[in-house]
Structure 1
């Protein structure tokens, strides 16, 4: 029997930026077809997203505090005219990872402000901020499938497609299902 270091009412949470619109439809089509063509890889366990924090554990009662803090930092960013745009830099195909490399300095600042606001004494762990912003298309795949996955991505994904983004606060369940507890329009 494995003993958890967290109380029983603890859940896993994470903050993502998720694409909405035509680009997202291309990404979802790619994920479905790549699974059919090459089988599942780790990217298939997630919706298309850019990770802004690592997973963090919190008791369910404190979720409201996190959501209120994220809402406050979002409103402050808008008030200060902080650009929350996400720029797609390039489509990258490495030996072990395929995806979109992104840039969003204002969004990184928003998340840094959120972590300062949520420095609660009862927090179970430090929030891990993500410096390398990206959206994964495939990883932990069979190296023999790399060229097929690359060709499929370049065939399906139009980087110039219309896209808007949402900031989302998710709960990850033990069965790998997801609950979006709150979302905000970014751009």
Structure 2
């Protein structure tokens, strides 16, 4: 075999090897782009009739907590939030709070809970700041959604979360959030 032909064959082999190596064919089946990314601090439940987005408890100044969460009713029927039960992940004790203001979820619409202080007087004696709590949201018809949500300190980031229920005289009736709702299949 001639020297020129050997050099060409060697160069072609190196180029093919470099092309395969540089195209990331060896990254395997669990590349970072396949991993779920959650940029917010809150927790999500993306299955079921009512989905929860960015759920968290925000500490109030009087040893109580306010619930902040986006609620998406994926059904064709109106759903009403009837109660929220809060339990620590470790230890004992639970607290059940009923919404101070009506929380009616229209079909296929996102409702942002927390701006009006709908569930803002949750007794904080059984949970601890900086930990997680198990929340069970009970809806009309007996449907329940359970989630483990973080308990965060009140900072400027959470200034939109009301510490107390907003009285009906000082505010209009709570409305669904203005953002477009995601489709039920997403």
So what's the TM-score if we normalise by structure 1? 0.23
**Larger RCO (CA within 8 A; separation ≥ 6):** 1
Which structure features the higher share of helix residues?
A: 1
